[in-house]
Each structure stands twice: as structure tokens, then as C-alpha cells.
Amino acid sequence: MTDNTVRQLNKDMPDLESYWMPFTGNRYFKQNPRMISRAKGMYCYSSDGQKLLDAVAGLWCCNAGHCHPKIVEAIKEQAEVLDYAMAFQLGHPTVFELANRLTDIAPEGIDYAFFVNSGSEAVDTALKMALAYHRIRGEGARTRLIGREKGYHGVGFGGISVGGLSPNRKMFGAMLPGVDHLPHTHNVEKNAYSRGLPAWGAHLADELENIVALHDPSTIAAVIVEPVAGSAGVILPPEGYLKRLRDICDKHGILLIFDEVICGFGRTGDSFGATRFGVTPDLMTLAKGLTSGAVPMGAVMASKDIYDTFMTGPEGAIEFFHGYTYSGHPLAAAAACAAMDVYLGEGLFDRARDMEDKFADALFSLRGEPHVIDVRCLGLIGAVELEGLEGQPTARAMSVFRECFDNGVIIRTTGDTLAFSPPLVISDSEIETMVESVRTALRAL
Ligand SMILES: Cc1ncc(COP(=O)(O)O)c(C=O)c1O
């Protein structure tokens, strides 16, 4: 315990010292705690009673809004009936139902779902599936994995190896061998203030041909990209880029993995990035919106070809030596089934698409405000990039975050970019509140 920690800020506040917080400046937080004690719909409430408009859906996850009554009810009901069932060799009905529900909304040909507990686990699982798939088919030399600069694929060793954000990698040694990276597609000079997908940059997919030529296709297992990169600051794929990646992968027998952890479940104004952009990968990783953030859960969805490839060998033998104690946990599966009911029953994916223009108009109205150098939007995902303070990267965006929070709006920052990903139930007036709070903060800098 350190002396400078605020131990007991007021009588309702627990001692803050022992909890080591993830991706957080622990010492700063413990001196300046911002605690959320409850949430409902579009709003969170701080421990000291402040009402906060949640413009990021938690961490891009509460797509149906917080504490949706149908999801809450489903979790309660499931908890009373079945808390846990052994995940290996036994099953329970809800998780099979969920797999069927997911295949209904997935792109055609993506027919199978494997469950995990987070986006990071989904990524590591998908990478292992890709490696094993080639090995089963007698192409065991295909061991290389190709990610992309600025990619974020969670924090497992697989995810940070194919990921392309240096702070997430540099402290952690050599990582997986045989990984290479495509160039990222972010270019403010060429693409600033593009409405929709940027026109410049599809040719960057052709870099995959150079990587293939360098290593030889027979050594490459898979390429993994986010359809829209979220954590690096909302980078939209250039028009035609994903299709080109698909074509090059097909040409060389390489699997294409879409990391849909952020893009899935309506964020892009469609079920998935794959469906929005009309490009079908071989594997898709999911999490976050899968349960609308209510219970941790992730998934890997796979093509029939991949599943069938594994379903060989002696009857009764395990086909894939992989899984987690909590794979397909009953509470998570119940929450996810209820989330699907809400998404489809309330038409939330279409709603996100219908709100897309209003959302973009509102964010684009920040063009010309102090320090703004770009605005990017698609569906209900948006970004406002700021010119960083000389010698103090991220500081300007963090000031905006703090100012907005104090004025009742939660936004997110990644580097010097402000990111927005509200629940899909956001209203016109809430979009206005979100943007005006940012405008006020920018003018006050
Ligand atoms: C694209 C992507 N992949 C993977 C992850 C990791 O998910 P988790 O934090 O659930 O492990 C994230 C998290 O933000 C993500 O954005």
C-alpha cells in the first residue's frame, strides 16, 4: 500500500488500493476516481449521483443500452435454472440455440460458432483454428500469421503478436514467431473528412502480395484484420480494400479472419462488418455486443469448410484440442439469446443504419472547431481526430474526455482521437448533447 493513495474518499467509497486496474493510470485514478455505480438505457450514474450520457456503450459493448429489461430477465431466469454445466463432453440447450441464432444473422456460409469468454480469447482461438486447419489438410508449413499495423486484437499473446499497436507489444518480449504485418490504411492527408469510406487506399491491400512473395504462400496460414479498426482510432477501410484482401487470400489459399469484436451486432449499421461491406471471411471473431456487454462472452464463427475439415479422424475423438471452462457459459448464452431477441425484435441494426446520417452530420459539425483535423463515421461508430499537443501525445484528447465527463457525457479517447460508439438506441437529442459537450470542451481547451 502506498501512502499517497486516497484510501477512503467518503464513507461509500471502498479502499481503492488493492485493485490493479486494466489499461488505466492507476495512480491518477486513485487520486481522481470516477466511479459508475448504476446504469440504465443510454445513461450511467456515478457514485456521487451524476447522470452521464454513455456515448461509447461501455467499451463498445452495450449495444442494446444498459440493463435492458429483457436481457436482465433472461440472466435472472437462467441463474435460477442452471448456473453451470460442464463445457467439455456435456452441453446445455441455451448455447446450442445461441449458435443457431448467430448463424441466422451471419454471412452466408458462416455456419458454426465456437464460444469463448472475451475478444482476446476469440482472437487466439481463431488463430489456432487457422493453424490447425492447414495442418489437418496436410499443409502444416502454413504457420505464418499476418496482421496489420495499428490493429488491435486484444491482449493474448496471439492478439498482441498480430496486433500493431506498439505500446501493447513492446514490453512483452518476442511474441509469436513468423508474424508479419500489412501497412495500416490511416492517412489524414489523403482522406481527411471523407464521408463514408475513404476513396484513397485500396491499393494498400496489394502489399499482401509483397508479403506473400517474400515468405512464399505455402508458409502463410491467415490474415487477420478488423473491418473497421476501432481501438486505433476508428479507421474505416478504404473503398474496395477488404474485397482486394479477400481476392488475394483466395488466390494463395490463405484464410481471412475478420475481427468483428467491435464491428459486430449493429455497430456498422448491419449485423457485422462482413455483411455491411459484402465481403465474407473464413473466420469471424465476436465478443462485446454478443451479450450487449451484460455477461462476458466471445465467439469464433467459422465457415462450413473449416468445420468440416476438423470433423475427420476417429468417431468419438476430440477434433480440436481447445476450449475454456466457461465456453458457452449458461448465463452468457442466455444473455446473448436475449440480446439477439432485442436486436432483431427492436430492429436495432436497421436503426443504427437509419441514424447513420444524423450521427455523421452531428460529428461533421465539429469540423472547424479548435484542434480538429479529421472526422470519420460509419453506422454508429465515429471519430474526431485532434492535432496532438507538441511533445504530449494523448494529452489534448484526455482533457476533452475529462471535460466531457464533468459535463455529463462519457466519450472515449484513443491516442489523440475521440471515439464515439453509443448504444444503438441513442436518440437525435442525445446525439446533439454528445456533440455539443465535445464542442464546449474543445472551445475550452
Ligand atoms: C477488434 C478487437 N479485438 C479484440 C478485442 C479484445 O476484446 P477483449 O477486451 O474482450 O478481450 C477488442 C477489444 O476492444 C477489439 O476491439
Domain boundary among 301, 323, 345: 345
Q: Please check the confidence at residue 13 and state whether its pLDDT lies above 70.
A: yes
Phi, psi angles (nearest 5°) of residue 38: -155, 170
CATH of the domain at 381: 3.90.1150.10
- Tell the residue nearest (CA) to atom 13 of ligand 1: 154
CA 232 to centroid of ligand 1, rounded, Å: 11
Residues 38 and 86 in one domain: no
Q: Quote the pLDDT of residue 2.
A: 42
For residue 213, report the distance from its CA to the centre of ligand 1, in Å: 30
- Statement to judge: residues 166 and 277 lie in one domain: yes
Same domain flag for 359 and 404: yes
Query: Is the C-beta atom of 191 inside 6 A of ligand 1?
Result: no
Q: What is the pLDDT of residues 132-188, one digit of tens each?
A: 999 999 999 999 999 999 999 999 999 999 999 999 999 999 999 999 999 999 999
Does ligand 1 come within 6 angstroms of the Cβ of 260?
Answer: no
pLDDT tens-digit readout, 403-437: 999 999 999 999 999 999 999 999 999 999 999 99
Q: Which atom of ligand 1 is nearest the CA belonging to 118?
A: 10
Q: With cut-offs at 50, 70 and 90, classify the pLDDT of residue 6.
A: very low
Asked whether residue 11 is assigned to any structural domain, the reply reads: no
Residues 338 and 388 in one domain: no
Q: How far is the CA of 60 from the centre of ligand 1 (A)?
A: 9
Grid coordinates belonging to 193: 473528412
Instruction: State yes or no: pLDDT of 5 exceeds 50.
Output: no
Query: Which of 148, 153, 257, 285 to mutate for ligand 1's pocket (most ligand atoms within 8 Å of CB)?
Result: 153
Q: Does residue 278 sit in the same domain as residue 337?
A: yes
Residue 22 lies in a domain: no
Is the model's pLDDT at 1 over the cut of 90? Answer: no
Give yes or no: residues 208 and 330 share one domain: yes
Q: What is the pLDDT of residues 302-324, one digit of tens each?
A: 999 999 999 998 999 999 999 99
From 328, 345, 362, the end of a domain falls on 345
Angstrom CA distances, 386 to 187, 369, 375, stand at 14, 10, 9
- Is residue 85 assigned to a domain? yes
Q: Name the residue of 261, 290, 295, 297 whose CB sits within 8 Å of the most ligand 1 atoms, as the mutation to test its pocket.
A: 261
Find the 120 Cα to ligand 1 centroid distance in Å. 6
Residue 111 Cα to ligand 1 midpoint, Å, equals: 22
User: pLDDT tens digits for 252-272?
Assistant: 999 999 999 999 999 999 999
Q: Are 287 and 118 in contact (CB under 8 A)?
A: yes
Q: Is the pLDDT of residue 9 over 60?
A: no
Same domain, 370 and 307: no
CB 82 within 8 Å of CB 330:
yes
Please give the pLDDT value at position 255. Answer: 99
State if residue 66 touches ligand 1 by the CB under 6 angstroms criterion: no
CATH number at residue 312: 3.40.640.10
Residues 128 and 231 in one domain: yes
**Given ligand 1 and candidates 23, 161, 262, which is best to mutate, with the most ligand atoms within 8 Å of its CB?**
262
Shared domain for 302 and 403, answered yes or no, is: no
Residue 304 lies in a domain: yes
Residue among 343, 340, 329 nearest 380 (CA)? 343
Q: Is the pLDDT of residue 278 over 50?
A: yes
Which ligand 1 atom minimizes the distance to the CA of 298? 10
What is the rounded CA–CA span in Å between residue 100 and residue 64? 20
Over the chain, what HEC string results? CCCCCCCCCCCCCCCCCCCCCCCCCHHHHHHCCCCEEEEEECEEEECCCCEEEECCHHHHCCCCCECCHHHHHHHHHHHHHCCCCCCCCCCCHHHHHHHHHHHHHCCCCEEEEEEECCHHHHHHHHHHHHHHHHHHCCCCCCCEEEEECCCCCCCCHHHHHHCCCHHHHCCCCCCCCCEEEECCCCCHHHHCCCCCCCCCCHHHHHHHHHHHHHHCHHHEEEEEECCCECCCCCECCCCCHHHHHHHHHHHHCCEEEEECCCCCCCCCCCCCHHHHHCCCCCEEEECHHHHCCCCCCEEEEEEHHHHHHHCCCCCCCCCCCCCCCCCCCHHHHHHHHHHHHHHHHCCHHHHHHHHHHHHHHHHHCCCCCCCEEEEEEECCEEEEEECCECCECCHHHHHHHHHHHHCCEECEEECCEEEECCCCCCCHHHHHHHHHHHHHHHHHC
Return mean pLDDT, the chain.
96
The answer on 288 and 188 residing in a single domain is yes
Q: How far is the CA of 138 from the centre of ligand 1 (A)?
A: 32
Average pLDDT over residues 332-346: 98
118 touches ligand 1 (CB under 6 Å): yes
Residue 19 in domain: no
The answer, yes or no, to whether residue 247 has pLDDT greater than 50, is yes
Q: Find the 228 Cα to ligand 1 centroid distance in Å.
A: 13
Look at residue 439 and tell me whether its pLDDT is greater than 60: yes
- Does residue 23 form part of some domain? no
| pLDDT tens-digit series, residues 101-112 | 999 999 999 999
Considering the domain boundaries, does residue 10 fall inside one?
A: no
Domain for residue 122, yes or no? yes
- Domain containing residue 123: 71-345
Ligand 1 within 6 A of CB of 228: no
Assess whether 231 and 124 both reside in one domain. Answer: yes
Using the mean position of ligand 1's atoms as its centre, give its distance from the Cα of residue 6 in Å: 31
Nearest atom of ligand 1 to the alpha carbon of 123: 4
Q: How far is the CA of 433 from the centre of ligand 1 (A)?
A: 28
**Do 352 and 425 fall within a single domain?**
yes
Q: Structurally, how many domains does the chain consist of?
A: 2
Which atom of ligand 1 is found nearest the CA of 154? 6
**Ligand 1 centroid – CA 36 distance (Å):** 21
- Residue that terminates a domain, selected from 345, 361, 390: 345
In the predicted structure, residue 11 carries a pLDDT above the cut 90? no
